Amino acid sequence: MILYPAIDIYDGKCVRLTQGKFDQAKVYFENPLDAAKKWADLGAQWLHVVDLNGAKEGKPVNVKPIEQIMTSIDLPVQIGGGIRTQDTAEIFLTMGAGRIVIGSAAIEDPDLVQILAVKYEDRVAVSLDAKDGKVAIHGWQDVSDKDAIELAQHFEGMGLHALIYTDISRDGMMSGPNWDGMQKMVESVGIHVIASGGVTTLEDVRRLKDMGAGGCILGRSLYEGTIDLAEALKV
């Protein structure tokens, strides 16, 4: 299982939100590059970078700090937030992204996922962010009527190699993942499922690994110190 330290960028700063609420952004680093250096120095294998302004506005906003991270840190970077067209996806892929993440556009334009998955294979992931099993879009501002597991199976059939599954109600709450929902997702598809939302302790990491998750995104738990990245990597 791969651990992905999260660097969420809002107005140029490294922040964490609670349940996706933009009015509850807590700043941890004025410069996101400092966060990237910290996690890289502690042994991270990947970084997960999200342009929160981009997710909200539908187009990349924090391109400069993302580019700084990719050019300064010798690690593959998984990038999401505001990637809703093939041109935008290819800008980041050409820039050197290890993987790009399609969120809202995957729901609104599924053909985009198929085009990118065929062309770039394992450098493309879909993010399914669910509330009560239904997928939310537009920076989690709107909840659709789409079932997360059904969508995951649909994208797997298109040739997708990886997906990120987040339970919005647990994100940033430091209360543990939605275990039932995560178990169902891992068992329902045969692709690389990256767990996100609520991972708080080393035991959570161990349980996700035992469950068969292919990856785990660590956010507030790293920034608040409830998980030590070096110890988590040993797990």
Residues annotated as catalytic (active site), given as ranges: 8, 129
| Beta bridge partner(s), residue 125 | 101, 162
Own/partner pairs, 89-94, CB within 8 angstroms, 24+ separation: 89/116, 89/124, 91/60, 92/60, 92/66, 93/120, 93/123
For tokens 């980041």, what's the residue? 92
Residues 6+ apart with CB under 8 A from 197: 166, 167, 168, 169, 170, 171, 177, 178, 217
DSSP-assigned states of every residue in 36-57:
HHHHHHTT-S-EEEEEHHHHHH
Per DSSP, 58 falls in state T
Residue 203, C-beta contacts closer than 8 angstroms, at least 6 positions apart: none
**Cβ–Cβ < 8 Å for 221, 52:** no
Among the listed residues 37, 32, 33, the one whose alpha carbon sits nearest the alpha carbon of residue 8 = 32
